[in-house]
Homo-oligomer: A and B are copies of this chain.
Amino acid sequence: MNLNALHKLGYGMYIIGSHKGDKLNGQVANTVFQITSEPPNVAVSINKSNLTHEYIKSSNVFSVAILNQGTPLQYIGSFGFNSGRDVDKLKGVNYKIGETKAPVFIDHAAAYLEVEIVQDVDVGTHIIFIGRIVNAEVLTEDTCMTYEYYHQVKRGATPKTAPSYIASEKGGDE
């Protein structure tokens, strides 16, 4: 059995935003996917230890910024390798407050979605949040970043709290 096979699965790169009252946060995710077309529902897998998990649980909404291929590694890292418990991730970052009141991170985004939770599924370390789309916009026709591009070309790393973290993986600052 060779779990490197999991590295061959395809994903995009996203910044997930949510809120808890007036408090706002965002985090990197790669596991956003459409699960039905009628209605157009999407899902995301979020680690229970992440602050964004707590915010989504509280507000029942999240936003998805779909990153373009040119997104700087530093921008991704600022959302992915810090916790909103320790730093204000929104400092110096452009965002707008969406219809759901979640922050929508428009920098480097080719499109975004806003989602209201209809179901959540406990899968152990993570929760799969499933929701209906209440807002969606295309911002640019830029090529979107794939998770493979992030790893291979950008030499990006995967936080240990990501669903796709594999203990043996090389090439990045964990």
Binds B, one of A17-25, A50-58, A83-91, A118-126: A118-126
Q: Give A33-69 interface residues, CB cut-off 8 Å to B.
A: 33-43, 45, 66
Q: Which of A1, A5, A119 has the most CB of B within 10 A?
A: A5
List, in ascending order, chain B residues with CB within 8 A of A71's CB. Answer: none
Question: Do the beta carbons of B36 and A6 come within 8 Å of each other?
Answer: no
Report Cα–Cα, A133/B101, bound state, in Å: 38
Residues of B within 8 A of A164 (CB): 34, 37
Closest to A135 in B: B1
Q: How far is the CA of A138 from the CA of B10 in the complex (A)?
A: 15
The answer to whether A137 and B1 touch across the interface, beta carbons within 8 angstroms, is: yes
Given A11-B10, A33-B11, A146-B10, is A2 in contact with B126 using a C-beta cutoff of 8 Å? no
Using Cβ atoms and an 8 Å threshold, which residues of chain B touch A134? 1
Please list the residues of chain A having a beta carbon within 8 angstroms of any beta carbon in chain B.
1-6, 8-13, 31-43, 45, 66, 110-113, 119, 121, 123-126, 128, 130, 133-138, 144-148, 162-167
